[in-house]
């Protein structure tokens, strides 16, 4: 039976916790979205019966966190969790990377290798970005799912494996099947249980709690006071579209701790309207960019250089070139240079 769980994604509070330190369901996820419990129920059941699971959702929405929850919530928690990004598989070595190889199987194979599936034997193999898997490799993955065996490159016979497969994608695999880019039989094998992780904009009521979590985490990491948004900032965060989802929210808040400046929401095409420039004079545009970067960082040249994407030495040269000296107002706020 196939379940489609449309629910809130979660956030793993501490990825360094050992498998033996198992947490309760409620501790693994942040948010008050009304359907998050349903997704957790489906994930818990899938972990218990050790079936194949397909996690779908946009980039940055938390699919790997749910995959790790499946691992920790089932009988394989004490065994390996082996992730692989299918988009990073090299065409010539993909079969070896997944299924392993024998010594001398090809030029440069000076020893044998287990590959992803044999390394995950007894545990979980997490196939991230499964929609990017080369078409010629898909029949071999289908055999792994059907027969529970792999044939290493250079081997004369298959080897049995005991692996739970969890796959994730940000693509519409049904559309990929229709376009001939993904095998239909493999899609149905992977899609025994589908858990859909929604975008952050679909669960805006969870944003305040996520902000609080990230602010506290990065305050500890960087040894700074926790940032607490005022009403206007919180409204802006909740109204923002978050195309990069939870990952983007995390990065925006962490960047503020790195730069020691208030979090700055990226401006999307939807929020900024048609692209216009105050002028077309490159010297004036550079001058204004320098001034804004220094104003944002209260004169901290090292952090201003990071904002501008240049080396601090380059910033020093540009400041001299545009005659932006210590007489400028920000220089009295912060005189640090690195």
**pLDDT single digits (tens) 85-117:** 998 887 778 888 888 777 766 777 777 788 899
Contacts of 212 (CB under 8 A, 6+ apart): none
- 336 pLDDT more than 70: no
The arithmetic mean of pLDDT across residues 156-162, rounded, is 89
- 138 pLDDT more than 70: yes
- 140 pLDDT more than 60: yes
The CA distance from 39 to 196, in Å, is 8
What are the b/e assignments for 289-322, b being 16+ CB within 10 Å?
A: ebbebbebbbbbbebbbbbbebeeeebeebbeeb
**Are 4-198 and 204-272 the same fold in CATH?**
no
Residue with tokens 């009521």: 205
Per-residue pLDDT reduced to its tens digit, 41-95: 899 999 999 999 999 999 999 999 999 999 999 999 999 999 999 988 877 788 8
Report, at the CATH architecture level, how domain 4-198 is classified: 3-Layer(aba) Sandwich (3.40)
The CA distance from 91 to 95, in Å, is 8
Band (pLDDT 50/70/90 cuts) for residue 329 is low
Band (pLDDT 50/70/90 cuts) for residue 120 is very high
- 10 pLDDT more than 50: no
The arithmetic mean of pLDDT across residues 330-336, rounded, is 46
Distances (CA, A) of 334 to 168, 191, 294, 331, 338: 46, 56, 10, 6, 11
Helix, strand, coil share of the chain (percent; to 5): 45, 10, 40
Q: If we measure between CA atoms, which residue out of 82, 32, 63, 19 comes closest to residue 210?
A: 32
Q: If we measure between CA atoms, which residue out of 258, 268, 317 comes closest to residue 290?
A: 317
**Statement: 204-272 belongs to CATH 1.10.8.60:** yes
Structure token pair of residue 334: 């912060």
Contact in structure between 309 and 303 (CB atoms under 8 Å): no
Lowest-confidence region among 20-24, 130-134, 202-206: 20-24
Q: SS3 string of 197-229? A: ECCHHHHHHHHHHHHHHHHHHHHHHHCCCCCCC
Q: What is the pLDDT of residue 205?
A: 85
Residue ranges per structural domain of the chain: 4-198, 204-272, 282-332
SS3 state of residue 169? strand
Per-residue pLDDT reduced to its tens digit, 227-261: 999 889 999 999 999 999 999 999 999 999 998 88
Structure token pair of residue 298: 């209260």
């Amino acid at each position: 039976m196939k379940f489609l769980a449309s629910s809130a994604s979660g956030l793993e509070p501490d990825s360094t916790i050992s498998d033996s330190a198992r947490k309760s369901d409620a501790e693994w996820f942040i948010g008050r979205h009304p359907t998050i419990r349903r997704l957790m129920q489906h994930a818990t059941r899938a972990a218990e019966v050790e079936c194949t699971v397909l996690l779908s959702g946009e980039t940055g929405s938390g699919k790997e966190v749910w995959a790790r929850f499946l691992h920790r919530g089932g009988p394989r928690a004490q065994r390996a969790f082996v992730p692989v990004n299918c988009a990073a598989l090299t065409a010539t070595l993909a079969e070896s990377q997944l299924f392993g190889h024998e010594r001398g199987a090809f030029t440069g194979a000076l020893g044998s290798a287990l590959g992803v599936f044999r390394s995950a034997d007894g545990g979980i193999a997490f196939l991230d970005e499964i929609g990017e898997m080369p078409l010629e490799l898909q029949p071999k993955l289908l055999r792994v799912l059907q027969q529970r065996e792999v044939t290493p490159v250079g081997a004369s016979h298959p080897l049995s494996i005991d692996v739970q497969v969890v796959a994730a994608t940000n693509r519409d695999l049904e559309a990929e099947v229709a376009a001939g880019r993904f095998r239909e039989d493999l899609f149905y094998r992977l899609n025994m249980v589908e858990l859909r992780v929604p975008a952050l904009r679909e669960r805006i009521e969870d944003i305040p709690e996520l902000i609080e979590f990230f602010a506290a985490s990065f305050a500890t990491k960087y040894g700074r006071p926790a940032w607490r948004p005022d009403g206007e900032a919180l409204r802006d965060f909740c109204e923002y579209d978050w195309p990069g989802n939870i990952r983007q929210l995390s990065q925006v808040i962490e960047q503020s701790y790195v730069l020691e400046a208030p979090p700055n929401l990226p401006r999307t095409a939807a929020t900024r309207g048609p692209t216009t420039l105050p002028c077309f004079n490159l010297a004036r545009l550079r001058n204004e960019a320098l001034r804004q970067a220094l104003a944002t960082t209260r004169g901290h040249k090292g952090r201003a250089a990071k904002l501008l994407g240049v080396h601090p030495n380059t910033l020093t040269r540009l400041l001299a070139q545009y005659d932006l000296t210590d007489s400028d107002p920000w220089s009295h706020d912060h005189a640090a240079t690195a």
